[in-house]
Chain A
Amino acid sequence: MAEIKIPEFTKEEIKEIRKTRTAMPEQDAKARGRNFEEVTIGFTAEDALREANRCLACKKRDCVSGCPVEVPIPEFIALIKEGDFIGAAKKIKEKNPVPAVCGRVCPQESQCESKCALGKKNEPVAIGRMERFVADYERVNGGGSSNGQVKKPKPSGFKVAVVGTGPAGLVVAADLAKLGHEVTMFEALHKAGGVLVYGIPEFRLPKAIVQSEVDGIKALGVNIKVDSVVGKLYTIDELLGDFDAVFIGSGAGLPMFLNIPGENLNGVYSANEFLTRTNLMKAYLFPEYDTPIKKGGHVAVVGGGNVAMDSARTALRLGAEAVYLVYRRSMEELPARKEEVHHAIEEGIDFRLLTNPVEIVGEDGWVRGIKCVKMELGEPDESGRRRPVTIEGSEYVIEVDTVVMSIGTGSNPIIPNSTPDLEINRRGYIVADESGATSKPGVFAGGDIVTGSATVILAAGAGRKAANSIHEYLMTKVKA
């Protein structure tokens, strides 16, 4: 471990550095567009120390209220300033067990950093970049994820089943295991991590980082059963027979399509399929790995969220000559993180905004193009965003051989269908209260299967709340 030199800034120097955020070291845009390595390289210790000194340590602490899990942000930054990086990581983990993940994939600009007092006049403090730095530092220098480094608690005698190994489930499992409960996780796929493994690409979230989080949770004594489709192999009722409580964090995994002509042509993928083939199955390493993928020459990705950005940038890295991002509203309404949009533009993704697909054109069963109409923004709709309206006669075809539909996901019906007394809403999601309790006693739920597709940190936050309520629930069982 290199010795940490604490810089001593003069008042003038501090005034100066507060003006601009410490830049994030990145791979060159041209080079990275052709490899799957992580785009951002991460802060050095010097970068983190500089950035920590930008924090005003203000009394209002608005950044904390901007965080869905209320990470003690000023406190962890103060520890960085002292050079105690491992202490800072532990401080974050009091509230967020997966900082290495959240530091990379959270939309900080609309959460903590949007509330930063410094951001009113200057650029806000780069909270996410520091979060990532201390989490990575701890992983390398502190003997792995600290989730696995607690003293073995006294066994409570209670058993909890956690369905799904994505962010919500991982947090529930870690929290409950630390309280002495015996936790078994059930994963439908062959690898734990949920969307962190099948969905978010390597270049944005290296799988080794997810694996270290999973390993940390295993080190707590959590048993992870892969290849176990709950709803098929075991019903929730059967789990309730073997466990004292069940948490469902199965995510929102059902891909949606536009229902336009040509969507079943060869070469049309859901973003879920495109990303799962690439990330989970490692199709980018085909034929070293057996799973193939069409490495399109010209690819259109339909949608404007983070998953659409991931799909477009994945297509580029697979070797596409041109990648179009087709989105029906304008840049302003684009729901993806600013950083992802910025990276996508830098890498050369061709944004076709205010453009709406109406048909996928084919020949002999294969995609040959995507027919679109141009849109203009009209009056605001119920979401408050200006409603896109078709411009008559503006139809045109973008010639592509691959189309990736990234227009959102719905609720997978396997668990609701096999659990008749579990209340679901009209969109098919499980109804759970603020604490994660469902209509079924002993069954809790959280993350995308309750909210519909959202963010990693919201799922992690829901997991933490549910873990607390499950613990409380189990404790009342003791009294009874």
Chain B
Amino acid sequence: MAKVLGKEVLRSDLIALKVEAPEIAKKAKAGQFVVVRADEVGERIPLSLARISPEDGSLGLVVQTIGVTSSKLGAMNVGDDIADIAGPMGHATPIKNYGRVALLGGGFGAAPMYPIGKALKEAGNTVTSIIGARSADLLVYEKELAEFSDQVLVSTDDGSKGFKGLVTDVLKQEIEANGVDWVMAIGPAIMMKFVSLATKPYGIKTFVSLNPIMVDGTGMCGACRVSVGGKTMFGCTDGPDFDGHLVDWDLLMTRQRTYLTEEKVAMEKYSCSCVPSAK
């Protein structure tokens, strides 16, 4: 059981929770994740760590409320209990001085970039954070990333803020203009795929944090099979970080869609049960 200590609505569909988990907070490293079960009938889902605070024994989680579990978590308030939180799972992101690093966070992916970017900065890197959204009002985490980044570059599809275009365009400009030694991308698979495609011609090492479907998160079920460099690996115990140039993105995206039909059924049932009854 883990108590919700704080809650912040970053965007209508992005909720940040501060959760009491002192033992995990003591052990977790940037890049690792936890497996969360919202309540007694809940599913186990992996969530990246957006904050690791051993000093007050808390973890930060950011959920995008698209499925039942993320919606249940998003609906929680300070003082509520999350049924289960287990971790830290997976390997930490390898932190060292790479030189000039570019970090791309797509949607909810900007949040777990926070502890990674911070650690990279502390390791002596020059950190460029790049975030993007359809429009300015949908951008999140700009302020937070600015805390440690040497620069935060922004792109919007409609040009309402920063560069008009995609984060990959901004990345290419940065590579051309100042040079980049190491790239990391966290976000939807399609975004990580295009970041990896963008850096490949330059031969820049590109890390991605994969988010396949998982059950236990400890290597027991194999649901999270991903293909990297032609080899089947487990996202939970071999990852979550992999070389983006070697990932079979189409396989990842196909496997992520396994339960699309069931997710709709579950979401409909959840939405119905959530309609507040008339008083």
Binding site for B on A (CB under 8 A): 188-190, 198, 226-229, 232-234, 253-255, 257, 259, 263-264, 266-267, 269-270, 272-273, 276-277, 281-282, 286-292, 294, 365, 412-414
Contact = CB atoms under 8 A, between A and B. Distances in A.
B184 interface: no
Nearest to A270: B222
Chain A residues touching B, majority SS: loop
Contacts, number: 117
A372 B275 CA distance: 50
Given A290-B69, A412-B219, 19 more contacts: A189-B86, A232-B89, A233-B27, A253-B218, A263-B225, A263-B232, A266-B255, A267-B258, A269-B222, A269-B223, A272-B221, A276-B215, A277-B221, A286-B262, A288-B41, A289-B43, A365-B255, A412-B220, A414-B218
21 contacts: A227-B85, A229-B86, A229-B218, A232-B89, A233-B24, A233-B88, A253-B220, A254-B219, A263-B225, A264-B225, A266-B255, A272-B220, A273-B223, A276-B216, A277-B221, A282-B41, A287-B266, A290-B42, A290-B266, A292-B43, A412-B218
A413 B221 contact: no
B84 A190 contact: yes
B227 interface: yes
Contacts of B269: 287
A264 B232 contact: yes
Contacts of B41: 282, 288-290
Task: Report, nearest first, the 10 A-B pairs whose CB atoms are least far apart.
Answer: A292-B262, A365-B254, A273-B221, A227-B86, A290-B43, A270-B222, A253-B220, A190-B84, A291-B43, A255-B222
Interface residues of B, number: 40
Contacts of B24: 233
Nearest to A290: B43
Contacts of A253: 218-220
Contacts of B258: 266-267, 294
A272 B255 CA distance: 18
Interface in B228-279: 232, 237, 251, 254-255, 257-259, 262-263, 265-266, 269
B121 interface: no
Contacts of A263: 225, 232
Contacts of A227: 84-86
B193 interface: no
Nearest to B252: A264
B266 A255 contact: no
Contact of B43 (A228, A281, A414): A281
Residue from the set B69, B221, B259, B269 with the largest chain A CB neighbour count within 10 Å: B221
Given A270-B221, A272-B222, A292-B263, A229 B84 contact: no
B46 to A, nearest CB: 13
Contacts of B216: 188-189, 276
A372 B47 CA distance: 39
A258 to B, nearest CB: 11
A222 B43 CA distance: 28
Contact of B265 (A270, A272, A287): A287
Contact of A232 (B69, B88, B257): B88
Given A232-B87, A233-B88, A264-B225, A414 B257 contact: no
B18 interface: no
A190 B221 contact: no
Residue from the set A281, A292, A365 with the largest chain B CB neighbour count within 10 Å: A292
A190 B83 contact: yes
B127 to A, nearest CB: 28
B117 to A, nearest CB: 23
B220 A229 contact: no
B88 A276 contact: no
Nearest to B265: A287
A276 B221 contact: yes
B37 interface: yes
Nearest to A295: B262
Residue from the set B85, B215, B237 with the largest chain A CB neighbour count within 10 Å: B215
A292 to B, nearest CB: 3
Contacts of B37: 190
Contacts of B89: 229, 232
Contacts of B42: 290
B23 interface: yes
B44 interface: yes
Interface in B54-106: 68-69, 83-89
A376 to B, nearest CB: 31
Contacts of B265: 286-287
A288 B263 CA distance: 13
A287 B43 CA distance: 11
Contacts of A288: 41
Contacts of A188: 86, 216, 218
Interface in B129-185: none
Contacts of B44: 190, 281, 291
Contacts of B259: 292, 294
Nearest to A417: B237
B29 to A, nearest CB: 11
Nearest to A253: B220
B68 A266 contact: no
A292 B257 CA distance: 12
B215 A281 contact: yes
